[in-house]
Amino acid sequence: MYIPKHFKNEEEASIVKFIEDHSFATLFSQHNGSPYATHLPLILTKEDRVLTGHFARPNLQWKDIEGQEVLAVFHGPHSYISPSWYETNKAVPTWNYEAVHVYGTIEIIENDDEELLLSMIEMVQKYEDQNSSYKINEIEKEFLEGMKKGVVGFKFKINKIEGKRKLSQNHSEHRQRRVIEHLEQISSDNARQIASLMRRNLEDK
């Protein structure tokens, strides 16, 4: 990923939290000689430097993904930044955003029903409401077996992580505050989230 020095995020705790908060990722690999991508949730185990997830079995990306270097992209909030918000006409339009790229290799979990089930339970627990009565390991046994046969679990072994926080850090504090003020007037959730990240970034200086 292209990361100018102003925008590089090397804070491990910040990157881990970002992956956990924005865990619906895009997983890229080569399939039959062409780029291929799947959108899916990934669970991070930071101690083992591993992401876990599941392909739908009919999704043939899993068939030839082992042995490749693959890329998972975690997307955060993003927003257009207008040059009209600055105090000069010597500026260009841009886009502020936060993203993390994770590189590594895939190990398919094909013959370990217990590991696959534990992985599925962990994922459901992450996303289910705490007050929900749904427990994946308590559903009807035959249905659960059918569900397990419909997916292919995998471990994503992390080799490298890149973090980028493009929040107008290459501009003066005055300009950053002007951008924040304009973003806070926009009804878009993305714009307001970027404004909040920019404000926090200034406060942490």
- 154-196, pLDDT tens digit by residue? 999 999 999 999 999 999 999 999 999 999 999 999 999 999 9
Question: How confident is the model at residue 13, as a pLDDT?
Answer: 95
Residue 146 reports pLDDT greater than 90: no
Considering the domain boundaries, does residue 45 fall inside one? yes
CA distance 145 to 140: 9
Cα→Cα distances 68→31, 50, 92, 168, 175, Å: 10, 16, 39, 35, 43
Find the distance separating the first CA and the last CA of the chain, reported in whole Å.
25
Please give the torsion angle defined by the CA atoms of residues 48, 51, 52 and 56, in that order, rounded to the nearest 10 degrees. -160
Considering the domain boundaries, does residue 93 fall inside one? yes
Choose among 137, 196, 188: nearest CA to 165.
Answer: 196
pTM: 0.92
Neighbours of 126 (CB within 10 A): 11
Considering the domain boundaries, does residue 181 fall inside one? no
Considering the domain boundaries, does residue 52 fall inside one? yes
Considering the domain boundaries, does residue 81 fall inside one? yes
- 63-113, pLDDT tens digit by residue? 999 999 999 999 999 999 999 998 877 788 999 999 999 999 999 997 778
CA distance 187 to 167: 19
Considering the domain boundaries, does residue 126 fall inside one? yes
Considering the domain boundaries, does residue 178 fall inside one? no
Residue 30 pLDDT level (bands cut at 50, 70, 90): very high
CATH code, domain with 54: 2.30.110.10
CA distance 155 to 62: 11
Considering the domain boundaries, does residue 193 fall inside one? no
Task: Please count the structural domains in the chain.
Answer: 1
Domain of 78 in residue numbering reads as: 5-170
CA distance 162 to 19: 11
